[in-house]
């Protein structure tokens, strides 16, 4: 155990060696000191600043602007961004911990943090020019501005290669036309990474990525969707009608849009897994606390095996999903392939979240069904994690694809 | 310019339910969540604010105890302190450690580090002694501003607004001085992620009480620790006369 921890303290490369080399899981048993500290500061913030207002944010569909600014000041809105660009300069494991703790306080706020970090900043950090990074990342590290990611369309979600939004070149400009659907943060964002077809004949190899400021002439927003959960985030269509942007706003090379989207979603999966973990943990905390306090049949209900079995199952679901998530993050930090593990993490964590949300209400009984207790909000917040950034069905396809490749002769 | 020493104590987290050990020698600490004493957090915040306003140049975080207290020092570094000092005390010495020993250590360090200010929390939430600041000032023969809810530095003097039973008292004391932080002095900042990264590189020096010429022998012996008595149910009365009669009957008045 001691040696495992010493290896961890040496940094990401050692983490990578640990994960692939050592047979024991001791390296996952205790986080490095710095990660523990940042997890604690995020937990403190979530407990004190998010927990008390999460119900109100949900009920009134309020975007947590002040909290996002405070999280920006803490470095949480740009965890992986290098300090030179205004970020916290930490690794993906740290990011995963941050999103989990924030989501535990408020699932919606965790979603905003995740989308800004993974889906908006992520691709620009990986594929952008230095100038693009300074222009499109730095102002989005402070919490003053958040970004969004526009891939899905009314006609295609899982079928991402069928993008019907078009981009044509006219002189020194790109002109975009089309509609994007289900865009998280849309009404609160100051910029978007958006995908459009530049060469229809090349099918998915003819999709390119673009950076568009918001608001912008030619870009309008559809109505805010009235969602089941994560109601403090705004979700709406992006409508592009002859939306003109400079040529320099293309992200990455022409035709690499699909690749950019897929790689971004790979990492984004770890973020959503972390959000799901936070929601699952919050549901478990709520149920376990209630089991101590609620008495029935002459004793706290935590004494009843039926309740104990539920709590045990919830705890196992969360802890196993958490280890999968940490492993995926550690592999990414070690620059090793992590596609399969990220998909496994997202699948496991989102199913853990819906399971825990469901069972938490069951433990609370009638109290779980009313808004006096947060269990019903966790139940509603959890549901989206099985859908966005790759449905559970898509995750299974990704995992199977990777697995079969490993076994191919 | 000046240097400030800030004391940070590692205590059982305020949210934890305290349990007395079966042998009644103390409370259960094994496997229990610990964190920085809330009043020490306020002290750190004040010191860092004074540094940001350029009244002082360097903030040194000090903690006494076994190796685990370095976590508490690192948290102080992540909040903005420049370096740390870990005074190693463990085993029986640590269990018996109290305000007298701590204040001797702080007095010695204040002289060694040529500190202009020593800022401590007004009390720790585990022993609630509220003595260390006062003893440290006495040992150093320095003025003290305790229960501070507002601190203003003006040249070589400090104006301290103190929370006292009757209200607020404002005093002016000359530096070097000892201050103890009360609840309303400030709202401690959250450690930011970049500062947590920076804290990794900041130095924590190690020393023992003997290096400072301090003997850790305690003059106090804990005989027994008990749970507080279970709260009894109340009794309802119909009239004020009944109330007075009942209070007289059970000897309260």
Q: What is the per-residue pLDDT for A4? A: 38
* Residue reference for tokens 């692939």: A20
In 10 A of CB B182, how many CB atoms?
19
pLDDT tens sequence for chain B (253 residues) = 589 999 999 999 998 989 999 999 999 999 899 999 999 999 999 999 999 999 999 999 999 999 999 999 999 999 999 999 999 999 989 988 999 999 999 999 999 999 999 999 999 999 999 999 999 999 999 999 999 999 999 999 999 999 999 999 999 999 999 999 999 999 999 999 999 999 989 999 999 999 999 999 988 888 999 998 888 888 889 999 999 999 999 888 8
End-to-end CA distance of chain A: 37
A60: annotated active-site residue: no
Band (A23; pLDDT cuts 50, 70, 90): very low
How close is the nearest chain B Cα to the Cα of A320, in Å? 22
**CB contact (8 A) between residue A38 and residue B193:** yes
**Residue A102 · residue A175 · CB < 8 Å:** no
How close is the nearest chain A Cα to the Cα of B190, in Å? 6
Q: What does the block give as tokens for B218?
A: 């305690």
Helix, strand, coil share (%) of chain A residues, nearest 5: 60, 15, 25
Report the Cα A318 to chain-centroid distance in Å.
16
End-to-end CA distance of chain B: 58
**Residue A144 · residue A174 · CB < 8 Å:** no
Q: What is the per-residue pLDDT for B235? A: 85
Q: What are phi and psi of A244, to 5 degrees?
A: -105, 130
How close is the nearest chain A Cα to the Cα of B93, in Å? 26
A-to-B residue pairs, Cβ atoms closer than 8 angstroms: 50
Band (A12; pLDDT cuts 50, 70, 90): very low
Task: Tell me how far apart the alpha carbons of residues A237 and A273 are, in angstroms, rounded to a whole number.
Answer: 24
Task: Tell me how far apart the alpha carbons of residues B34 and B16 are, in angstroms, rounded to a whole number.
Answer: 9
- What pairs with residue B168 in β-bridges? B163
> What letter does residue A156 receive in the DSSP assignment?
B
The pTM score is 0.87
A37, A73, A94 member nearest B74 (Cβ): A37
Give the residue-averaged pLDDT of A57-62.
Answer: 96
Q: Apex CA B182: angle with CA B180 and CA B187, to 5°?
A: 115
**CB contact (8 A) between residue B193 and residue A94:** yes
Query: In A, what residues contact B, Cβ < 8 A?
Result: 33-34, 37-38, 40-41, 44-45, 70, 73-76, 79, 83, 88-90, 94, 98
Pairing of the two strands B3-7 and B58-65: parallel
- Best of A30, A41, A142 to disrupt the B interface (most B CBs within 10 Å) is A41
Q: What distances in angstroms separate CA A271 from CA A116, A346, B52, B178, one per listed residue?
A: 10, 8, 35, 47
Give the relative orientation of helices B69-78 and B193-201 as an angle to the nearest 10 degrees: 120
In 10 A of CB B134, how many CB atoms?
18
For residues A230, A182, A72 and A63, what is the CA-based torsion angle, rounded to 10 degrees? -50
| Residue of A60, A389, A393, A406 marked catalytic | A389
Band (A28; pLDDT cuts 50, 70, 90): low
Note whether B17 contacts A: Cβ–Cβ < 8 A. no
**CB contact (8 A) between residue B190 and residue A75:** no
Nearest residue on chain B to A98, alpha-carbon basis: B193
Q: What distances in angstroms separate CA B114 from CA B2, B73, B118, one per listed residue?
A: 8, 20, 10
Give the residue-averaged pLDDT of A244-268.
Answer: 95
Q: What distances in angstroms separate CA A123 from CA A258, B21, B68, one per listed residue?
A: 12, 54, 40
Nearest residue on chain A to B34, alpha-carbon basis: A40
Q: What does the block give as tokens for A198?
A: 């530049």
Q: What is the per-residue pLDDT for A27? A: 54
Contacts (Cβ under 8 Å, ≥6 apart) of B121:
B7, B9, B37, B38, B39, B40, B41, B42, B43, B180, B181
Burial of B212 (0-12, 13-18, 19+ CB in 10 A): middle
**Residue B6 · residue B120 · CB < 8 Å:** yes
Q: What is the per-residue pLDDT for A29? A: 66
A34, A40, A44 member nearest B197 (Cβ): A34
Three-class SS of residue A227?
Answer: coil
- Best of A31, A37, A72, A91 to disrupt the B interface (most B CBs within 10 Å) is A37
**CB contact (8 A) between residue B78 and residue A37:** yes
Q: What distances in angstroms separate CA B215 from CA A157, A255, B133, B212, one per listed residue?
A: 71, 74, 19, 9
Rg for chain A (alpha carbons), in Å?
21
Q: Which residues of A touch B197 (CB under 8 A)?
A: 34, 83, 88-90
**CB contact (8 A) between residue B190 and residue A94:** no
Band (A3; pLDDT cuts 50, 70, 90): very low
* Residue reference for tokens 């944010």: A57
Report the Cα A104 to chain-centroid distance in Å.
13
Task: Tell me how far apart the alpha carbons of residues A296 and A302 are, in angstroms, rounded to a whole number.
Answer: 10
Q: What is the per-residue pLDDT for B231? A: 87
Q: What is the per-residue pLDDT for A13? A: 36
**CB contact (8 A) between residue B196 and residue A98:** no
Q: What distances in angstroms separate CA A390 from CA A96, A157, A342, A346, one per listed residue?
A: 18, 9, 11, 9
Tens digits of residue pLDDT in A340-349: 999 999 999 9
Nearest in space to B178 (alpha carbons), one of B4, B2, B1: B4
| Cβ within 8 Å of A, B 147-186 | none
Note whether B190 contacts A: Cβ–Cβ < 8 A. yes
Sign of CA dihedral A94, A15, A315, B27: negative
């Amino acid at each position: 155990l001691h040696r495992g921890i010493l290896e961890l303290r040496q940094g990401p490369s050692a983490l990578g060696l640990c994960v692939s080399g050592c047979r024991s899981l001791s390296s996952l048993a205790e986080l490095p000191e710095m990660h523990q500290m940042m997890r604690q500061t995020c937990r403190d913030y979530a407990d004190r600043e998010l927990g008390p207002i999460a119900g109100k944010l949900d009920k009134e569909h309020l975007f947590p602007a002040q909290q996002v600014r405070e999280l920006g000041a803490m470095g949480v809105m740009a965890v992986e961004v290098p300090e030179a660009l205004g970020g916290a300069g930490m690794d993906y494991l740290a990011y995963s911990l941050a999103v989990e703790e924030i989501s535990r306080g408020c699932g919606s706020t965790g979603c905003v943090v995740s989308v800004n970090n993974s889906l908006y900043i992520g691709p620009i950090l990986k594929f952008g020019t230095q100038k693009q990074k300074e222009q499109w990342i730095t102002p989005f590290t402070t919490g003053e501005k958040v970004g969004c990611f526009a891939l899905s369309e009314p006609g295609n979600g899982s079928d991402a290669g069928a993008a019907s939004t078009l981009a044509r070149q006219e002189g020194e400009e790109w002109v975009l036309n089309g509609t994007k659907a289900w865009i998280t943060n849309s009404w609160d964002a100051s910029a978007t990474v958006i995908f459009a077809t530049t060469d229809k004949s090349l099918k998915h190899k003819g999709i390119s990525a673009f950076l568009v400021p918001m608001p912008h002439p030619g870009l309008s927003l559809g109505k805010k969707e009235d969602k089941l959960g994560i109601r403090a985030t705004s979700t709406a269509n992006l409508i592009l009608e002859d939306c003109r942007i400079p040529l320099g706003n293309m992200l990455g090379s022409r035709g690499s849009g699909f690749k950019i989207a897929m790689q971004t979603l790979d990492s984004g999966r770890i973020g959503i897994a972390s959000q799901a973990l936070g929601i699952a943990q919050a549901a478990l905390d709520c149920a376990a606390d209630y089991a101590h306090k609620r008495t029935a049949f002459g004793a706290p209900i935590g004494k009843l095996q039926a309740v104990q079995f539920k709590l045990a199952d919830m705890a196992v679901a969360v802890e196993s999903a958490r280890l999968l998530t940490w492993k995926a993050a550690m592999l990414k930090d070690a620059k090793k392939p992590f596609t399969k593990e990220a998909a496994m993490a997202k699948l496991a964590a989102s199913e853990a979240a819906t399971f825990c949300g469901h069972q938490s209400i069951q433990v609370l009984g009638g109290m779980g069904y009313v808004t006096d207790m947060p269990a019903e909000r966790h139940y509603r917040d959890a549901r989206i994690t099985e859908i966005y950034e790759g449905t559970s069905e898509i995750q299974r396809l990704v995992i199977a694809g990777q697995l079969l490749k490993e076994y191919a002769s | 310019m000046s240097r400030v020493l800030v004391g940070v104590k590692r205590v059982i987290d305020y949210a934890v339910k305290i349990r007395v050990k079966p042998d009644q020698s103390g409370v259960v600490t094994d496997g229990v969540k610990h964190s920085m004493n809330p009043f020490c957090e306020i002290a750190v915040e004040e010191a860092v604010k004074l540094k940001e306003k350029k009244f002082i140049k360097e903030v040194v975080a000090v903690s006494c105890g076994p190796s685990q207290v370095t976590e508490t020092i690192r948290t102080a570094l992540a909040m903005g302190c420049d370096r740390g000092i870990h005074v190693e005390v463990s085993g029986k010495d640590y269990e018996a450690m109290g305000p007298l020993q701590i204040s001797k250590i702080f007095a010695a360090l204040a002289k060694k580090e040529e500190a202009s200010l020593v800022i401590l929390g007004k009390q720790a939430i585990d022993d609630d002694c509220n003595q260390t600041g006062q003893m440290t000032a006495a040992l150093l023969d320095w003025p003290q501003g305790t229960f501070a809810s507002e601190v203003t530095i003006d040249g070589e003097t400090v104006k301290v607004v103190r929370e006292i039973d009757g209200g607020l008292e404002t005093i002016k004391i000359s530096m070097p001085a000892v201050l103890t932080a009360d609840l309303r002095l400030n709202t401690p900042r959250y450690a930011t992620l970049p500062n947590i990264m920076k804290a990794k590189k900041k130095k924590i020096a190690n020393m023992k009480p003997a290096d400072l010429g301090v003997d850790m022998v305690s003059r106090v012996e804990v005989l027994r620790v008990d749970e507080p008595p279970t709260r009894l149910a109340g009794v309802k009365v119909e009239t004020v006369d009944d109330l007075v009669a009942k209070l007289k009957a059970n000897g309260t008045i």
